[in-house]
Structure 1
Amino acid sequence: MNAITLDATDCRILSVLQNEGRISNLDLAERISLSPSACLRRLRLLEEQGVIERYRACLNREALGFELEAFVQVSMRNDQENWHERFAEAVRAWPEVVGAFVVTGESHYVLRVLAHNLKHYSDFVLSKLYKAPGVMDIRSNIVLQTLKEDSGVPVTLTPTEPAAPAR
């Protein structure tokens, strides 16, 4: 997919929306110094172009009882037919897995897992993850403290020309 060319106003709209997804069009227009109709036109265009995929609420996992977060590296036996497809299907069905990534390096996958407590996590690993087709090795990293977490995307103007050399 080709990147969309954004201007400074588009970048301001996206920056505000990433932090305040429920802002009204009137307030958004005022914040970025546009008329409400011009702001709405730009917003709809960004949605149509697929720059804005969806709107969602960010939930507090601890308030909902998820006290344990882990990043799990999973290595697979690749001698079984359709091992990747079968594992991907299993991962999609597990509500504990809130992020799943195919990666380079020593493991095949990294999973971000949320559990209510250590027992819940242990049950997940023993009854689901270890029993998934083709799983050979699992290495868990329990999160002790989150220093930064932002699911947003850096919004900046894309340079169209190389920077001029310094004098």
Structure 2
Amino acid sequence: MDIKDRQIIRELQKDGRLSNQDLAERVNLSPSPCLRRLRNLEAEGVITGYTALVDQKACGLPITVFIRIRLERHSDEGVRIFEQQIGRIEEVLDCYLLAGGDDYLLRVLTHSLEAYEDFIRRRIHAIPGIASIDSSFAYGVVKQTRVFPV
């Protein structure tokens, strides 16, 4: 990746709906080379897809919960089962594997505390091998960006 590829990525992170013409202008390329670079970035897996950013509150999901999970054992089978089951739960938007005291960090959106309790009881407690669950509720957002430095 060179500087032009990085500029293309940055501009698309800011606005994924840019036309090729507008993108080319923003990165100071003619449209054909810009489109060729864009297709190469997609083919190489650098750009993995496009999506709409949606306001969670407008969709009735005002509560963000971060859930830290520690497993009882770290056997290959136990980890595989946990990760497979978490991967099937649509309420889990992100699941990170951690170093340190906890094993996983999940990000979940919910519409109420009652719905969150039900989620924990029905979906998370059903996964075998969990030693502990610790929840933190976000009451505000200081910074949130989808644009990372490239």
TM-score scaled to structure 2, two decimals?
Answer: 0.93
User: Could you tell me whether the CA contact under 8 Å between 1:80 and 1:134 is conserved in 2?
Assistant: no
CA 1:118–1:47 in 2, change beyond 3 Å: closer, same or farther? same
Cα separation, 1, equivalents of 2:134 and 2:73: 18
Cα separation, 2, equivalents of 1:80 and 1:143: 32
Which residue number corresponds to residue 138 of structure 1? 133
1:12-161 alignment, distance < 5 Å: 12-78=7-73, 82-155=77-150
1:11 to 6, 17, 26: 6
- Larger C-alpha radius of gyration, 1 or 2? 1
1:79 CA displacement: 7.4
Unaligned runs of 5+ in 1: 1-5, 156-167
Q: Per-residue displacement from partner, 1:104-145 (whole Å, max 9, x unpaired)?
A: 111111111111111111111112212210111111010111
Which residue number corresponds to residue 160 of structure 1? none
CA 1:79–1:47 in 2, change beyond 3 Å: closer, same or farther? closer
Corresponding pairs, count: 150
- Which amino acid is the alignment partner of residue 70 of structure 1? V
Q: What secondary structure sits across from 1:82 in the alignment? A: helix
Cα separation, 1, equivalents of 2:56 and 2:73: 34
Unaligned runs of 5+ in 2: none
The runs of at least 4 consecutive aligned structure 1 residues that moved more than 6 Å come to none
Which residue number corresponds to residue 162 of structure 1? none
